[in-house]
Amino acid sequence: MLQNEFIAKIEQEFGLDSAHITIVAEKKIAVTVDSGQALAFLSYLKNIDFIQMSLITAVDWIAENHFELVYTLVSWEKNLTVSVSTFIPRSEPRMVSVRHIWPTAKYYEWDINEFFGIVFSGHPEMGKPLFLEGWSEKPPLRKDFDPQAYSYERFPSREYDYEVENKGRVVE
């Protein structure tokens, strides 16, 4: 089993507790690490040929009051996909940028900064608009942002001041 070999390898080489590793499906593994350890673990993965940064995404767990950052990495040689999750507090959403490890991460992090308000230190574009030009509300993918309330407030329903001819009458 390729996965088990790989899990044994990272347990041994990185000293990760096996409780933090789950097998999601065939060829897919999920790992949870502390936010302080995340950068070291990600650069370790890069060195054992996880060259493709597939996706960086965030999940807003508002009830637990933290954000989950998920890095999905693919190794073509090992034919494995690893999702690395790390949790950061909602009150101080900061993380170290990985754009020096995978250059493509620049836009994923910028994207998350815009939609979740998570700040990546070492990233030059934080706070600048990417997709949402002229947006001044709170980051829209946070769970406490209500798009319906926003659109009612931003685009109030119009009052029409005219008489409707034949209102309520059937015209033949």
Partner 1 sequence: MKEVKLFHGPNHPGMHGNFSVHLTVDGDTVVSARPNPGMLHRGFEKLMERRSWIQNIALIPRICVPEPDINEAVYSMGVEALAGMEIPERAKYIRVIVLEIARIMIHLMSVGGIGGPTGLYTAPNWGIADRDLFLDIFEKLTGHRIYHMYIVPGGVRQDIPADLLKEIEEKLDNLEKRLVEYRELIFDHPIIHKRLKGTAPLPKELALAWGITGIGIRSNGFDYDIRKYDPYLVYDKLSFDVPVCDESDAYSRLMLKFREIPQSMRIIRQAIADMPAGKVRIKLPGNALKWKVPKGAVYSRLESSRGEYGYYMVSDGGLTPYRVHVRGASYPQGLYGVEAGLPGTRLEDVAVWLDTMGVCAPEFDR
Tell me whether residue 35 or residue 57 sits nearer to partner 1 (CB atom): 57
> Is 30 a binder of partner 1 (CB under 8 A)?
yes
Among 8, 40, 51, 152, interactor with partner 1 by CB under 8 A: 51
> Is 60 a binder of partner 1 (CB under 8 A)?
yes
Burial of 126 (0-12, 13-18, 19+ CB in 10 A): middle
DSSP state of 144: T
> Is 47 a binder of partner 1 (CB under 8 A)?
no
Which residue type sits at 28?
A: K
Q: Please tell me the count of residues contacting partner 1 according to CB under 8 A.
A: 36
φ, ψ (nearest 5 deg) of residue 32 = -110, 130
Tell me whether residue 13 or residue 135 sits nearer to partner 1 (CB atom): 135
> Is 131 a binder of partner 1 (CB under 8 A)?
yes
Q: Could you give the C-alpha distances from 3 to 76, 99, 129, in angstroms and in order?
A: 14, 27, 40
> Is 70 a binder of partner 1 (CB under 8 A)?
yes
Footprint (CB under 8 A) of partner 1, residues 82-111: 83, 102-104, 106-108
Distance CA 91, CA 142 (A): 13
Count Cα atoms within 13 angstroms, Cβ side, for 120: 28
Which residues of the chain form contacts with partner 1 (CB under 8 A)? 24-25, 27-28, 30, 51-55, 57, 59-60, 70, 72, 74, 76, 79, 81, 83, 102-104, 106-108, 115, 129-133, 140-141, 145, 147
